[in-house]
């Protein structure tokens, strides 16, 4: 148990040092259906969120000049979903079943493990698309991702490659809600960043989570450098003087307002790891 805790500390330290903010949405982005943020993220388990995110990344990561996926059908082994999508081995089956039941994906054929006389083969999946003219955000009426023009946002690949496979669902939802509202489309200027600061109340409404869960997600997202605090909350006996703390996406090259917290976090982790290394080093007594 102790070794596992030390390993988590090392991974957390490495992650905090590695992530320097999201790159601008001008390249290395995924043209993501907005329904991933509006339907999948608020109403699904972590395993299903990771599964759909991974299949969207593989499907839409390579498109032709018309924006159509080069490979609309995606092969994926359980090992791949475990190692690359970040889904625990025991959670893969449930994640697939939920994604199919909620009409996020379609399974063209199930995979099979190696058995006597039969070679193993991968399962074949594809994102489910809806040709209806209406953009649907009601999970009960959802019948696939909107295939018409629009309702897509260029999301930095880092969200799918670094954040989704390794973070808690509360963190993914908080950062997802902020990034969904930060990158916008303008006819004359294309996709661009806008400064969006969101309070806990707004994040609670958009993520469909309890306030305590949102607070935990915000705290973890701050520590990992995904978001930054724009303004401190102010409590006052006069309600007119009260102000809510607000948070925004942290962009590459942007110093977060919580940088001292990040540095303190790193220092604590480094001290813990140094102490562990010292305790585990064999002590040689002088002869």
Residue-wise pLDDT tens digits, 131-165? 999 999 999 999 999 998 889 999 999 999 999 99
Give residue 283's pLDDT. Answer: 43
Share of the chain above pLDDT 70, in %: 68
Residue 213 to residue 37: CA distance in whole angstroms: 18
User: What's the average model confidence in pLDDT over 253-271?
Assistant: 49
Residue 6 to residue 138: CA distance in whole angstroms: 43
β-pairing, 129-130 vs 145-146, is parallel
Instruction: State the span(s) of the chain assigned CATH 1.10.10.10.
Output: 1-20+167-235+245-275, 34-145
3-class DSSP state of 247:
strand
- Closest by Cα among 168, 163, 266, 166 to 217: 168
| 231 — pLDDT class (breaks 50, 70, 90) | confident
- Closest by Cα among 125, 133, 147 to 57: 125
Give residue 199's pLDDT. Answer: 94
Domain covering 34-145, topology: Arc Repressor Mutant, subunit A (1.10.10)
Task: Return the ∠ at Cα 258 (arms to 40 and 180), rounded to 5°.
Answer: 25
**47: how many CB neighbours lie within 10 A of its CB?**
24
pLDDT tens profile 74-107: 888 888 899 999 999 999 999 999 999 999 999 8
Give residue 102's pLDDT. Answer: 98
Q: Which two tokens stand for residue 143?
A: 């019948």
Please answer whether residues 40 and 271 qualify as being in contact, where contact means their C-beta atoms are separated by less than 8 angstroms.
no
Q: Which two tokens stand for residue 132?
A: 């209806």
pLDDT tens profile 45-66: 999 999 999 999 999 987 665 6
CATH of region 1-20+167-235+245-275, choose from 1.20.272.10, 1.10.10.10, 1.10.30.50, 3.40.1440.60: 1.10.10.10
Q: Which two tokens stand for residue 196?
A: 């969006």
Ordered DSSP codes for 29-73: EEEEETHIIIIIHHHS-HHHHHHHHHHHHHHHSSB-TTS-BS-SE
Q: Tell me if the pTM is above 0.85.
A: no
């Amino acid at each position: 148990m102790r070794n596992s805790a030390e390993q988590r500390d090392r991974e957390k330290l490495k992650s905090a040092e590695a992530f320097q903010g999201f790159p601008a949405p001008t390249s290395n982005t995924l043209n993501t259906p907005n329904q991933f943020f509006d339907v999948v993220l608020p109403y699904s388990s972590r395993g299903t969120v990771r599964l759909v995110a991974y299949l969207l990344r593989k499907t839409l990561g390579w498109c032709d000049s018309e924006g159509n996926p080069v490979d609309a059908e995606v092969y994926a082994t359980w090992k791949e979903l475990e190692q690359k999508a970040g889904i625990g081995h025991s959670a893969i089956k449930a994640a697939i079943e939920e994604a199919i039941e909620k009409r996020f994906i379609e399974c063209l054929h199930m995979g099979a493990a190696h058995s006597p006389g039969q070679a193993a083969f991968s399962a074949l999946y594809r994102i489910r698309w809806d040709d209806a003219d209406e953009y649907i955000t009601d999970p009960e009426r959802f019948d696939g991702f909107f295939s018409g023009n629009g309702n897509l946002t260029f999301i930095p690949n880092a969200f799918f490659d670094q954040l989704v496979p390794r973070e808690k669902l509360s963190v993914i939802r908080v950062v997802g809600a902020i990034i969904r509202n930060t990158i916008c489309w303008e006819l004359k200027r294309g996709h661009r960043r806008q400064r969006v600061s969101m309070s806990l109340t707004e994040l609670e409404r958009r993520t469909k989570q309890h306030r305590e869960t949102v607070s935990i997600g915000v705290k973890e997202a701050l520590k990992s450098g995904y978001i930054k605090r724009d303004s401190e909350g102010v409590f006052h006996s006069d309600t007119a003087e009260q102000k809510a703390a607000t948070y925004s996406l942290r962009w590459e090259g942007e110093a977060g307002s919580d940088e001292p917290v990040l540095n303190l976090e790193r220092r604590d982790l480094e001290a813990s790891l140094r102490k562990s290394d010292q305790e585990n080093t064999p002590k040689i007594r002088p002869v």
